[in-house]
Structure 1
Amino acid sequence: MVADAAHERTLVLVHGAWHGAWAWELLVPQLAARGWRTSTVDLLSASGDPEAGMYRDAEVIREHLAGIDGPITVLAHSYGGLPVTEVAATVPRVTQLIYLAAHMLDVGEYVLGPTGGPWFDPEETPLLPVPDSSTVLMYADVAADVAEAAVVRLRPQSSLSFLEPLTRAAWRRLPSAFVVCDEDRIFPPVLAETLPPKADLVRHMPTSHSPFLSQPADLADLIGEISAELAALPDKISS
């Protein structure tokens, strides 16, 4: 597919907990075929450093965004929604946000807040191990060989990243969309149900938590549709 003027923007992809930029390897070629320029970020919270929390991840994202010319759409998956929400509105070239089965929370909230707080002692568990049931929780509809290859690349996540609260909410200032994965087994349904008042657009995919691995072509199509719809929305008033 030939690129058009709408794709003079860059799509920045921000992965979720336990993952890395490798998570987008199947999606990026599909996006490129549709005319997108893409850029990926590796978050420090899954690097094995227990001191790398959400705020450190947000700073990594901010520095990455600041180095990109032209308009930017940011797509965040799962936990990645937190540091994106924290920092995206501080970079003027960011004009759109897409939350893919991601935490879309408000100032003062953190990953584990809506679920009743941590199930672990942060002092005794500075790094959260990869979930034992990762395949079932995150890759239920992913081809077996692709899921197996993904699981072996997962890394422990800093517990601090799940506990640091937001000080900003970028979706209040930027047009945003939320993609609900209808067969998601890890993202609590109660969180998705609270999103319509926050997101300007809500769309659905009939997938589990990781459509970038199970249905990358369909996800790429949906991203294009969402970006066009967000571009047609009136500008939000800066708060």
Structure 2
Amino acid sequence: MTAPGAVLVHGLWHGAWCWDAVRSALDELEVDSVAVELPLTDLAADARATRDALRAFGRPAVLVGHSYGGAVITAAGLHASVRELLYLAAFALDAGESVSRTGPGRGLPDTRLGEAMRLDEQTGEVTLDPVAGRGLLYGDVPDDVAAAAVARLRPVSRMVFRGVPDEIAWRKIPSTYVVCTRDEVINPELQRALARRATRGLEWPCGHSPAASRPEAVARLIAERVRLYG
């Protein structure tokens, strides 16, 4: 099969499961997709997992990254099958940047995400306070969807916050950036600055997790971008 499709990359504390509603909507739109399961140990390992998924997918793809997944698609996006990058409230990093330190972020106020994170000094794992994390990640998501998602969140290595991409795919690959204007995890002004690095930008009046709050809209946008390459 050579018809183009979508490869979906999740953010921190999540898994491939967070794309389930989007993938169901993509099925309705007759767009094939696969969701990557990141190890969330460090950026290099996550980029390798994404390149492996692209290789297994075996066809042209729009590579979609949410939140930290933007750092991953930036690092992995020069794979030969990638036709476009799609950033959803995501880190479109430049050389020398990490998710904890971006050039455009200097001088911008922090969100409350840092207050919600919990570091285990012995294991080096970072978790989220379930109550604060739910409000930040899923403030505009139906209660049942939010509760189910929070129950599946998992620890991540603190190394993921320091990872710097070896390659900067958005410099060579067309890209679309969606700014989530009510985001309480990544400052919308930081998103707007990152969006200026992309080929085109959009703004959606939603919180940090559009795959949960508006999966059909996410699927329609992905399908629109995929069909450009069919």
TM-score interval, normalised by the smaller of the two chains? 0.7 to 0.9
Q: Is the 8 A contact 2:138 2:209 kept in 1?
A: yes
Q: Which runs of 5+ in 2 are unaligned?
A: none
Contact 1:122-1:160 within 8 A present in 2 as well: no
Q: Does residue 1:94 correspond to 2:62, yes or no?
A: no
SS in 2 for 1:113: coil
Cα root mean square deviation, aligned? 2.3
Alignment equivalent of 2:68, drawn from 62, 75, 79: 79
Q: Deviations over 1:156-214 (max 9, x none)?
A: 11110110212210011100000111111101223212124310110122211111111
8 A contact 1:130–1:157 mirrored in 2 = no
CA distance in 2, matches of 1:66, 1:226: 20
Query: Partner letter of residue 125 of structure 2?
Result: L
Return the match for 2:58 from 69, 87, 102.
69
Q: What amino acid maps onto 2:44 in structure 1? A: Y
Aligned equivalent of 1:12: 7
Counterpart secondary structure, 1:44? coil
> 2:141–2:213: 8 Å Cα contact kept in structure 1?
yes
Identity %: 36
CA distance in 1, matches of 2:135, 2:226: 30
Aligned match of 1:113 in 81, 90, 101?
Answer: 101
Aligned to 1:49: none
| Secondary structure of the structure 1 residue equivalent to 2:203 | strand
Q: Distance in 2 between matches of 1:223 and 1:25?
A: 14
Mapping of 1:1-239 within 5 angstroms? 8-45=3-40, 52-89=41-78, 91-114=79-102, 126-132=124-130, 133-227=132-226
Give yes or no for contact 2:119–2:127 (8 Å, CA) kept in 1: no
Structure 1 residue runs without a partner (length 5+): 1-6, 46-51, 232-239
**How many residues matched?**
217
